[in-house]
Amino acid sequence: MIRALGGATIFAPVGRATLGLGVTQIIGWGTTFLMPSVLGHAIGNDLGMASELVFGGITVMYVVSALFSPSIGRLMDRTGSRLVMAVGSLVYALSLAVLAFCQGPAVYLLAWAGIGLASTLALNNPASIALAQVAGPRARQAIAVLAIIGGFASTVFWPLGGALAVLAGWRGTVLIYAAIHALICAPIHFFTLPKSPPAVPQAAATPASGGGLPAEERPHAFLLLNITLSFGAFVFTGFILHVIDILRGLGHSPASALFLASLIGPSQVGIRVIELAFGHRYSFMASAVMGSAMLPLGLGLMLIDGSNSAIALACILAYGVSNGLKAVQRATLPLALFGRGQFGAYMGRLALPQGVLSAAAPTVLAAILDRLGAQGALWVTFAFGTISLAAMILLARRSRAIR
């Protein structure tokens, strides 16, 4: 897999950075976004908080991350990724330590605000920016490999978190997570990433050149990209957190719903492997349109007869394929459309609306599930997925030159 990076080996800078960031992304997602799925009930019982408030920590994380993303993206363009991401790991450690010792909702949510700030510095977007700086022309391949590795976060941390909770309780588990960020993630970021950003020729640093679309096309392309990624992010964030309840609401047994939901991870990783191996053989924009189309297609099938196990399976696989492709394209599309010169700034601006809609998704879909049931949640996600697809089709038509 590492050799797919244009012949780079694990010992070359690109290979080291990709593997190192893959480890830190597994840890980053596993100890934050995925953590309440395992520890949420214990946290709520101990602190006397409803599950909505427990999972509200994720909403706070997304909101804070979205607010800081534009400025952090510009900062990484200027200073590089090493110090920013290493500091992010230390902020993670501090915030998780505060969470481990909290005694009520105020400090609990404050800790999640710190986690949101750390995510702006060391999770997802910063990792993609770092790889774009390190890998240069091989950035698309490197980001695809990173997405494959990061797809194992739930595979690693759901069982690990469950086992640690039995041995150390939820507070001890969160403290162990804090130590992992300080002792593993911070050194990886500091020693595998370059001290400063690569030199970009002056011409490439301007919007008018440096790869991607012509300057006059970029504002329209940016708007369409913003729409397709943001509306998609609402579905991807909200659906995965509520998919088991949706499946149960459609008549599937708890065991069947859990089994079907567990197939999302393998389908995400599988399509990322295919994209890495064969992506150079077909148009990049064609892959983006296909990924966007799979989302409303799967949700539409589930609306027709979601109680049917075969149809539910098709929907789950379609969702996984769409999410798997979009995880790569959230970083590689801006890189292809706008070039490397201001990549961090573009990623930061794109992260703001994505973060806001991602923050709203868990609460909004929970309320819809309570009031309108699984069908209501499916109609909302189907509508958002269709808007995302329409924007992607328009973007592809304006960007035919992007291969």
Both 291 and 393 in a single domain?
Answer: yes
Both 151 and 218 in a single domain?
Answer: no
Query: Would you state the pLDDT for residue 402?
Result: 62
Query: Residue 185 — very low, low, confident or very high, per pLDDT cuts 50/70/90?
Result: very high
Query: Would you state the pLDDT for residue 279?
Result: 64
CATH code of the domain containing 373: 1.20.1250.20
The predicted-structure confidence for 151-175, as pLDDT tens digits, reads as follows: 788 778 888 988 999 999 999 999 9
- Over 50: is that where the pLDDT of 74 sits? yes
- Over 80: is that where the pLDDT of 397 sits? yes
Both 113 and 255 in a single domain?
Answer: no
The arithmetic mean of pLDDT across residues 192-203, rounded, is: 66
More confident site: 14 or 11: 14
| Number of domains into which the chain is organized | 2
The arithmetic mean of pLDDT across residues 134-148, rounded, is: 80
Both 216 and 328 in a single domain?
Answer: yes
Query: Residue 209 — very low, low, confident or very high, per pLDDT cuts 50/70/90?
Result: very low
Of the residues 136, 167, 198, which one is the last residue of a structural domain? Answer: 198
Query: Would you state the pLDDT for residue 202?
Result: 44
Both 237 and 334 in a single domain?
Answer: yes
Both 192 and 212 in a single domain?
Answer: no
Per the domain annotation, does 286 fall within a domain?
yes
Per the domain annotation, does 389 fall within a domain?
yes
Query: Would you state the pLDDT for residue 206?
Result: 45
Query: Residue 122 — very low, low, confident or very high, per pLDDT cuts 50/70/90?
Result: very high
Both 37 and 102 in a single domain?
Answer: yes
Both 9 and 158 in a single domain?
Answer: yes
The predicted-structure confidence for 255-271, as pLDDT tens digits, reads as follows: 888 788 878 878 887 88
Per-residue H/E/C for the chain: CHHHCCCCCCCCHHHHHHHHHHHHHHHHHHHCCCHHHHHHHHHHHHHCCCHHHHHHHHHHHHHHHHHHHHHHHHHHHHHCCHHHHHHHHHHHHHHHHHHHHCCCHHHHHHHHHHHHHHHHHHCCHHHHHHHHHHHHHHHHHHHHHHHHHHCCHHHHHHHHHHHHHHHHHHHHHHHHHHHHHHHHHHHHHHHHCCCCCCCCCHHHHCCCCCCCCCHHHHHHHHHHHHHHHHHHHHHHHHHHHHHHHHHHHCCCCHHHHHHHHHCHHHHHHHHHHHHHHHHHHCCHHHHHHHHHHHHHHHHHHHHHHCCCHHHHHHHHHHHHHHHHHHHHHHHHHHHHHHCCCCHHHHHHHHHHHHHHHHHHHHHHHHHHHHHHHHHHHHHHHHHHHHHHHHHHHHHHHHCCCCC
Both 362 and 284 in a single domain?
Answer: yes
Query: Residue 208 — very low, low, confident or very high, per pLDDT cuts 50/70/90?
Result: very low
Range of the domain at 354: 208-398
- Over 70: is that where the pLDDT of 2 sits? no
Both 160 and 266 in a single domain?
Answer: no
Per the domain annotation, does 403 fall within a domain?
no
Task: Work out the mean pLDDT of the chain and round it to a whole number.
Answer: 85
Of the residues 148, 177, 198, which one is the last residue of a structural domain? Answer: 198
Per the domain annotation, does 280 fall within a domain?
yes
Both 220 and 147 in a single domain?
Answer: no
Per the domain annotation, does 203 fall within a domain?
no
Share of the chain above pLDDT 70, in %: 91
Of the residues 168, 198, 228, which one is the last residue of a structural domain? Answer: 198
The predicted-structure confidence for 299-356, as pLDDT tens digits, reads as follows: 999 998 888 889 889 988 998 888 888 877 787 788 888 877 677 888 888 888 888 8
Both 12 and 68 in a single domain?
Answer: yes
